[in-house]
Amino acid sequence: MNYQNISISKAMYKNGEAPFSQQLEALDPTADYQNTELAGLDAFQRQLKRFDIQVGGARSSRLEKFFQNAESAVLFPEYIMRAVRQGMEENSPLASLVAARTFINSTDYRGLKTDAGTDAAVTAEKAALPTTTITLKDATTALKKRGRLLSASYEALRFQRLDLFTIALRRMGADIVKGQMEDAVGVLLGGDGSTGSKPATLQTAGAGAITYADLIHLWSQFSAYQMNTLLVSPAMAAKILALDNFAKPNGENFPVSGRLGTPLGAEMIVSAAVPANTVIALDRRYALEMVMGDEVTVDADRLIDTQLERAAVSSIAGFSMIFPDAVKVMTVKA
């Protein structure tokens, strides 16, 4: 099999725009392994097999196994990135909030702005159709670098099992995505800096509490869109779940099932990034764009050379409002 003979080097982490994993796939296409015992593995996983590195399970390899030779050491940064990405994905509510993801290779990005007209009116014969105007926004999307420093001694970690080390890396990914969630909430609350991007804000009818009638009023503000997502703080989620109308949604009791209710059919997402007395309601199909510069990057040279001390793991991303009318914010009146 070709995977045992391909040549890999640290230079692959600096080879233009193609990520390391894509370059591996080009050298050793997964399609060539259909109907073989290696079916289901990608090119990176086949390299782990080549060097007998097991990253999971009770019998996972020790970290030093990556550094048995110069080629196997090249796999270490990709292993770090995959573990961090896994932590980001399994802890991120962004998948339920983002309508579109855009990858860019620059620091300057302008999203699209569409006029408010959404009606397809009846048009008389020979009359002009209504026009939807799409232009670039008048402000760029701010991209922020979120990351953590990996501070560890190789000598202290070399005999550590990779299974446990992976858990620590996944936790780093969770910390990164927590910061990205704060950025997303900031845009949903205040807009992305472009003209007209700040969503409408409502208040509860009464002071100090949110009621079922308040949520009905919030729901009624969505005419051209659906209120299919509620983004709330843990404190606000507790208040909504305590309302009689949602205590036993569809016959299921939250204290028994452990599953959050779906008030008025909307998925409720809990995030500490949301202010305590605020509800963000949105149609996740149309509200938010996530602009990504780098999904996950690492100091590849330092990691390959076992210089784990202060090796940076980071992700660059920003958020842009697509249709501000697809978002409504309700605050509890003081």
Q: C-alpha angle 296/302/304, rounded to 5°?
A: 90
**Residue 40 CB neighbours (<10 A):** 10
User: Mind listing the pLDDT tens digit for each residue in 116-163?
Assistant: 655 666 667 777 777 788 899 999 998 999 999 988 899 989 999 999
Least confident of 4-8, 254-258, 321-325: 254-258
Q: Read off the pLDDT band of 1 (50, 70, 90).
A: low
Residues with Cβ within 8 Å of 195's Cβ and at least 6 positions away in sequence, in order, are 137, 138, 139
Runs of H (alpha helix) within 221-271: 234-242, 244-247, 254-257
CA dist 230 and 136 (Å) reads 29
User: Mind listing the pLDDT tens digit for each residue in 22-60?
Assistant: 999 999 999 999 999 999 999 999 999 999 999 988 899
User: Mind listing the pLDDT tens digit for each residue in 230-245?
Assistant: 999 999 999 998 888 7
- Give helix 43-50 / helix 20-27 axis angle, nearest 10°: 80
Instruction: Mark residue 300 as left, alpha or beta (left: phi above 0; alpha: psi -120 to 50; beta: remaining).
Output: alpha
CA dist 287 and 199 (Å) reads 10
